[in-house]
Structure 1
Amino acid sequence: MTRQRRLVDAPWRHAPSQGTMGWNGDFGGSRISWAGFRERIGAWQRRLDKLAPPGQRWLLYHSDPVAFAAALIALWERGDSAVLPADDRPETLDTLSRLATARLGEVTGGLLADVDQAPRWGDLRPDRVAVSLFTSGSTGDPKQLDKSFAQLDAELAAHLALWPLDGRLVISQVSHQHIYGLLFAILRPLCEGAPMATRACRYPETLSAWLQRLDNVSEDDIQAPRSAVLISAPPPLERLPAELDWHPARERLARIHSSGAPLSAAASAHARTVLGIGVSEIYGSSETGGIAWRDQQFNDHWAPLPGIEIRNDAEGRLWLRSPFLADPSAWECQADRIAPVADGFRLLGRSDRIAKVGGKRLSLTGMDRSLETCHGVLQARTLPLATRDNRLGAIVQLAAECIPHDHATRRELIQALRARLLSAFEPTVIPRYWRFVETWPTNAQGKLSAEIVALLFADLQDRRLPRWLGVENNGAQACRVALEVPERLAYCQGHFPGQPVVPGVVTLQWAASLARRHLGLDGSFHRLERVKFPQLLLPGDRVWLSLTWRPDAEGGRLVIDLSGQRGCHASGRMHYVATEIGDAS
């Protein structure tokens, strides 16, 4: 039976010293004990004491789950609170810095050099603000959300009632900077005394390796976990490669959770086939916390979480009363529409997707559904673009065989889609800007976020950019970016009369910029090597840009391949030399 204490009871203080808090999966059974974890809390407090007195708000971002957990608890026990940015991009941190006393981030070394000072314990009152998070909608500025210890404890109790960890290893594929990852990957194992994986498991190859290591744990190692719970999201579950060795998953994987967006029935079935276990999806939001759950091998509708009350109104809107809200007694109206069923509800889409386009009121949901009836369209999302006087942009996911690869086929497709919409909508509201994707573009939480939308339409603001249509990561140092050459690309003007062509040097510039964004490439450009441009790149061409970063002692090489339906357009290597990097904390 799982032991659980509330956050306000500070379970990390009472966990058995030699018990396993963190497990790194290496052969030989190396791990982090609860005693070692408490030393890390003390080390963080020592560092904090040198920076500011207690009672502060800290901007906390750390990619390491154990370091994040230790820093978070060090803040709480000092009487501080944490502001959690969604990422560590400079613009994100600069925007949120006004909300906090100082930043607390990645540590380059030396934190545990002196750990002879035991941690100090404080008073975790239920009404204290524990963390401040931010929404990640597709438009508008993020909204600050304060979560008290009482709210977090109420949700953790509901999770325990449905899915006790029972000492299983918690492996996470999602960011703990968001409410779902924070609750499931950090706070649940802390409260239930279960070990957490010491590194995030972003890629399927890493997940397969972790499960194989679990399968090879010696029976004599009484401190090592025997099974695992996977905290995931739609993107990694949709893209699980069946060719990897997943046999240990059927023995060692006890449960899979997913949140951020609903899984399609096909994706749910795919994950169940590959990993041998159903997916427990959680529906909710940053504002509300969890609302309901489902496993599509049993039901396609949603069942409320324990303690959640649901009803709908005459317009079908969802009304919610929840112990996870600041006022547990109040009914709050949500933007989603629902259809009640005997033991839950079905989601029907959002009720607030009403926009004014060209002076006309328009249901964006209705337009999305019209597009989704067209041949080859798997999913569609229309949205007003503020930078284009709120004229509509359309993001359309197509079956692979329907993807346009040149200007002529793209134009024919747009004409066909416009003709379909004109049967139901006025010409003034038809989308003007189209982005055709093969895989639905989302962030790590499975959301079509404001940042993703900005990337998709960035070329409208800067005519030097290609159309960015999504990225596939192949480990930490390789990716493939889908691109399209805009017909009005600035670099094609005068190059050449009668047949515009993208200059080869422009493709190298794109590669360098995209490698910095998607691979974190750093350093100074040094030289080119074996660069070739076998095929002309023309306006309207759709291509894949493959980028592989190969670090070495001097810096590293960026290997480039830009290919499309007509073959390779560019290839070669760009050499970089390392630059000095200061303390990022």
Structure 2
Amino acid sequence: MADFLALEQLLAVGRPAAMTVAVRQGQQLDFACLAQQAANWRAAFAAQPGRRFALYCHDSFTFAAALLGAWHAGVCVYLPADVLPATLARLRGEVDGFAGDIAGEDSLQPLPDTVVPDWPALERQAPGLVVFTSGSTGEPVAIAKQLSQLFDEVQSLAACFDTDMGEAMVLATVSHQHIYGLLFRVLWPLAAGRVFAADRLVFPEDIVAALAVNGDCVLVASPAHLKRLPDNLPWAAGKTSLRAVFSSGGPLPAEALPDCRRLLGRAPIEVYGSSETGGIAWRQRMNDGDLAWRALPGVKLQLDGEKLLVQSPHLAGTDWQRTEDRVSLLGDGFELLGRADRIVKIEEKRVSLTAMESALLATGLVAEVRVLPLSGLRLTLGVLAVPSAAGWALIDEQGKRALNARLRAALAELVEASVLPRRWRYAWTLPSNAQGKATEAALQAWFDPRRPAARLLSRTTGEASLVLEIDARSPYFVGHFPQTPILPGVTQLDWAVLFGRELFAIPAGFLRLEAVKFQQVIAPGSLVSMDLSWQAERGSLGFKLTSAAGAHASGRIVFGAPA
């Protein structure tokens, strides 16, 4: 493996031109290519009057080049987690422009064939990055980072973990558009001279395929992926040596550890921190009782009551920063006890959402759960849960109301009747973004009355089967038609796209409809099967809606970039 090279010196000192930096779909991308692309991006940014740009790229190698080019042009990069319309709308008032793969915007692109300059060292105190909190507790908050904060954190990670990783290639399920993915799958590999995969592993099947064809590797994952590891990981073939597995972006449940250790051959290295604080501590639970977190190099910790205070070079200043995490000392480390700030007021009564979630998990009827406040004429609570095998069995035998009642009874021992959740939704998995986090918007979307109750029956790489409950109270029946309400055909198409995007990696751009047929109407109260098939090479999502009454609709929806 190459020697560690501080990121401010990466282009100024350089690497051998033919040294592989990344791999994209089997193609090796070398340092000369990185330097050339960075020069092209630097020229493009330098030609613009503004110095604040939102950058979004699908490909991590392209992103690395654009990021280095921006920094060498004196540009502060704003890092959106996605390119949803609401995200872009928030950014328009904060940035001077957009760059990269952002459809529908005048998005800056690199200039071609620019002369590679004599690179200077980057100024460590420059305002290099603005990241955003995930929005898990509300509106995303912008957090500014100096380059020194990022570069020092990379050095901290290298000092703690580099020795055991050798020349392993970095594979990742998380996006570089989040601080965890940025550090672990782009910046740290660049500084350490470690090859990284330019493509993200979106689904568990992608992890299987990537591990089957790579030698020594490191897996940078989110708890959302590690909780759902497939049983067919390719260790028996003897092709892969997994040197390390990292998990961050949220807590890894203890229930996931046995499968991680069995299927991956090692316990994940869990890294605890936040967008605000950067990395704070780490642990590796070789045994279930290994609860203690250890501070990362350069990080100092102390307690204020039960709350954790942090001082580190990953912060903007030298002051101690208070977190909202409750901890207790444990040996030479500490144990996390949960968040202190998930308190809401319902009917003038303070309620701990964390305590309610713990009570629901204790029933054994749900495997994952989030309790969240729902706005309306008055604030109420909703529950989005992933039933356990016992929970699904109860639904099959007695219906969803029976599960609702059992869960309400568990909460009745904890809170007063006036604050019990009013709305219940059951999912096959909690929604998560590219960083493996469930954002407030994604959780709230499950309570949108326009979304049908759905149960996933099966899913493979390219096919999925669901059952939809067509609620008579759906707003889509209003006015269509007053005497004999039926579900509009456009709604059926919208639902095919909705669930297709949740289950497959579908491009943002819509191109056309093909062979769409509506055979018979769907009435209120129907139970409808939805079969989806995704052909990535054609960008084609096939759908078919059927019920006991027969076929209702079918066709194909084609996605991709406009010609």
User: TM-score by structure 1 length?
Assistant: 0.84
Distance 1:418 1:388, change over 3 A: farther
Q: Give the corresponding residue for 1:574.
A: 555
Whether 2:410 is the aligned partner of 1:429: answer no
Opposite residue 523 of structure 1, the aligned amino acid is: L
In structure 2, what is the Cα distance between the partners aligned to 1:337 and 1:144? 24
Q: Is the 8 A contact 1:439 1:470 kept in 2?
A: no
Q: Is the 8 A contact 1:129 1:148 kept in 2?
A: yes
Cα deviation for residue 112 of structure 1 reads 8.0
Indicate the SS of the match to 2:341. coil
What pairs with 1:298-337 in structure 2 (closer than 5 Å)?
298=287, 299-314=290-305, 316-328=306-318, 330-337=319-326
Distance 1:552 1:272, change over 3 A: closer
Structure 1 residue runs without a partner (length 5+): 216-226
Q: Give the corresponding residue for 2:125.
A: 127
Whether 2:269 is the aligned partner of 1:280: answer yes
What pairs with 1:252-267 in structure 2 (closer than 5 Å)?
252-267=241-256
Whether 2:553 is the aligned partner of 1:558: answer no
Opposite residue 101 of structure 2, the aligned amino acid is: E
In structure 1, what is the Cα distance between the partners aligned to 2:374 and 2:141? 20
Cα deviation for residue 49 of structure 1 reads 4.3
Deviates more, 1:196-205 or 1:516-525: 516-525
Quote the RMSD (CA, aligned, Å). Answer: 3.6
Q: Is the 8 A contact 1:23 1:31 kept in 2?
A: yes
Opposite residue 354 of structure 1, the aligned amino acid is: I
Structure 2 residue runs without a partner (length 5+): none
In structure 2, what is the Cα distance between the partners aligned to 1:21 and 1:145? 29
Q: Give the corresponding residue for 1:117.
A: 115
Distance 1:407 1:465, change over 3 A: farther
Indicate the SS of the match to 2:376. helix
Distance 1:320 1:94, change over 3 A: same
In structure 2, what is the Cα distance between the partners aligned to 1:425 and 1:377? 19
Cα deviation for residue 84 of structure 1 reads 0.6
Q: Is the 8 A contact 2:208 2:232 kept in 1?
A: no
Distance 1:371 1:494, change over 3 A: same
Whether 2:445 is the aligned partner of 1:447: answer no
Indicate the SS of the match to 1:416. helix
Distance 1:150 1:49, change over 3 A: closer
In structure 2, what is the Cα distance between the partners aligned to 1:9 and 1:580? 37
Cα deviation for residue 154 of structure 1 reads 1.7
Opposite residue 8 of structure 1, the aligned amino acid is: E
Deviates more, 1:228-237 or 1:419-428: 419-428
Indicate the SS of the match to 2:93. helix
Distance 1:35 1:176, change over 3 A: same
Indicate the SS of the match to 2:317. coil
In structure 1, what is the Cα distance between the partners aligned to 2:214 and 2:560? 39
Whether 2:512 is the aligned partner of 1:524: answer yes
Q: Is the 8 A contact 2:273 2:281 kept in 1?
A: yes
Match for residue 291 of structure 1 among 268, 277, 280: 280
Distance 1:248 1:365, change over 3 A: same
Whether 2:31 is the aligned partner of 1:34: answer yes
Q: Is the 8 A contact 2:517 2:553 kept in 1?
A: yes
User: TM-score by structure 2 length?
Assistant: 0.87
Distance 1:152 1:400, change over 3 A: same
Cα deviation for residue 228 of structure 1 reads 1.4
Q: Is the 8 A contact 1:249 1:275 kept in 2?
A: no
Q: Is the 8 A contact 1:233 1:258 kept in 2?
A: yes
Match for residue 366 of structure 2 among 369, 374, 377: 377
Opposite residue 406 of structure 2, the aligned amino acid is: A
Cα deviation for residue 417 of structure 1 reads 2.4
Q: Give the corresponding residue for 1:157.
A: 155
Deviates more, 1:334-343 or 1:491-500: 491-500
Deviates more, 1:499-508 or 1:178-187: 499-508
Indicate the SS of the match to 1:85. coil
Opposite residue 581 of structure 1, the aligned amino acid is: P
Cα deviation for residue 9 of structure 1 reads 2.2
Q: Is the 8 A contact 2:55 2:80 kept in 1?
A: yes
Paired positions, count:
552
Q: Give the corresponding residue for 2:525.
A: 538
Distance 1:413 1:570, change over 3 A: farther
Whether 2:474 is the aligned partner of 1:489: answer yes
Q: Give the corresponding residue for 1:230.
A: 219
Cα deviation for residue 480 of structure 1 reads 5.8
Aligned identity (percent) is 33
Q: Deviations over 1:356-394 (max 9, x none)?
A: 101222222222222233241334322211235221112
Indicate the SS of the match to 1:247. coil
Whether 2:181 is the aligned partner of 1:181: answer yes
Cα deviation for residue 7 of structure 1 reads 2.1
